Amino acid sequence: MEGKKELRFRCWIDIDGKRFFGPGRAQLLILIQKKGSLSKAAKEMGMSYRKAWAMVEDMNQRGQHPYVELYKGGSQGGGAELTETGQKVLSTFIKMNNEITATVQEHTDKILDLI
């Protein structure tokens, strides 16, 4: 019986066996960079502000250096921006993920034909 075959993968970085960084957090950083706001990034991802804030706090605390700088509200409202470390981690992760995706695609037909 021939069914639909698909090779899927996801790449995460764990620290001490606990998930630290992957596609979801990369997407959050992309949207923070684009929107300049944690709340707007969270809204676009369909997640609560509290969950997005917890993700940023986790990255800022467990990373070697903070990834996001948050600015408290006021008359102008708050904001968020990636630090230099956050920008470097994000760009490196995207590049690495693109290279992995290309490699997987290169071998997909070969392995799926064997299954």
Looking at residue 93, which CATH number applies to its domain? 1.10.10.10
pLDDT digits (tens, 9 = 90+) for 54-87: 999 999 999 999 999 998 876 667 899 999 999 9
Place of tokens 């986790």: 58
How close are the terminal C-alpha atoms of the chain, in Å? Answer: 11
* Domain count of the fold of the chain: 1
Whether residue 11 is contained in a domain is answered as: no
Parent domain of 90: 17-107
Average pLDDT over the chain reads 93
Phi then psi for 70, rounded to 5 degrees? -105, 140
Report if residue 58 sits inside a domain.
yes
Measured CA to CA, the distance from residue 1 to residue 53 in angstroms comes to 47
62: three-class secondary structure by DSSP = helix
Q: What is the DSSP letter of 55?
A: H
CB 33 within 8 A of CB 25: no
Is 80 a domain residue?
A: yes
Average pLDDT estimate for 37-53:
96
- Is 3 within the bounds of a domain? no
Asked if residue 114 is part of any domain, the answer here is no
The label of the residue with tokens 């630090």 reads: 83
Least confident of 37-41, 72-76, 86-90: 72-76
Q: pTM of the full predicted structure?
A: 0.87
